Structure 1
Amino acid sequence: MTSDPLEDVLDRWKAAFDGHRVQAMADLFTPDALFQGFGPEVMVGRDAVRDYYEAVPDNRNAEVTLLHSYTIGREVAGGFADVTFRDPTGWEAPVHLSLVLQLSEGTWRIRQYHVSRISGEH
């Protein structure tokens, strides 16, 4: 485990995403996590996160670049990363990812997850 909570969580998230390990993805989140993926609605909880990732094609992977991380006290951390989702067909979706983490049961978990697609248009 790294000393930076966000770096550690992103490493575990990428490994689970690239391996299409849906349950491992859901376990990275707090039970009441807020999740905003590509869809229009905010979802709540691990079951919703698991359902979301079950719908993602299993040939996709993620390239992750950590941009900034912070901690607030001993139990809250967060930050920003750039992520590019790709698959072998050439599909690609670059996003900004923001996370808020919470130390839960001795493990850093995602409390809030939000992606914003990167576009050349304003």
Structure 2
Amino acid sequence: MNHPMPEVLRRWKAAFDGHRPDDMAHLFTADALFQGFGPTVLTGRDAVRGYYEAVPPGRTAQATVLHTYTIGEQVAGGFADVTFGDADGWEARVHLSLVLRHDEGRWRIRQYHVSRVDTAR
């Protein structure tokens, strides 16, 4: 099996860069757990859609897969280095942790967690 993380991240980046919250929500399982920049853990596609609707248009992401793993045929995951930015120079570097599940005929994000990387050190 080719690892699904690069393809899921490619679809995620395309939806994020295109500011397409509906497409973004469909990358996640119906029962997804989501921890973005905010303090609240969100649950489900509607919450994910709402989160991405609030992201200002024009933000983009660059992602590099760091590590991957698989658990059987239906679960995989890994870590990525992601830098979010915009044309005004705003930038945030994070580590992204994903748990993926083969769901409804495709790989979807079951758990999403970002952790800011302190670049000042």
Figure out how many residues of one structure are paired with residues of the other and give that number.
121
Spell out the pairing of 1:31-50 with structure 2 (5 A cutoff).
31-50=30-49
Distance in 2 between residues matched to 1:18 and 1:64, nearest whole Å:
12
Runs of 4+ aligned structure 1 residues displaced above 4 Å come to: none
* RMSD of Structure 2 on Structure 1 (CA): 1.4
Q: Secondary structure at the match of 1:98?
A: strand
Spell out the pairing of 1:65-76 with structure 2 (5 A cutoff).
65-76=64-75
Distance in 2 between residues matched to 1:92 and 1:121, nearest whole Å:
13
Distance in 1 between residues matched to 2:39 and 2:19, nearest whole Å:
22
Distance in 2 between residues matched to 1:120 and 1:85, nearest whole Å:
14
Gaps of 5+ in 2: none
TM-score by length of 1: 0.95
Spell out the pairing of 1:27-106 with structure 2 (5 A cutoff).
27-106=26-105
Structure-1 residue corresponding to 2:23: 24
| Shift in Å, 1:120 | 4.0
CA shift digits 1:50-101 (9 cap, x unpaired): 0000000110000001101111100000000000000000000000000000
| Shift in Å, 1:42 | 0.3
Spell out the pairing of 1:6-21 with structure 2 (5 A cutoff).
6-21=5-20
Distance in 1 between residues matched to 2:103 and 2:82, nearest whole Å:
25
- What percent of counterpart residues are identical? 69
Distance in 1 between residues matched to 2:62 and 2:72, nearest whole Å:
29
| Shift in Å, 1:45 | 0.3
Distance in 2 between residues matched to 1:56 and 1:120, nearest whole Å:
22
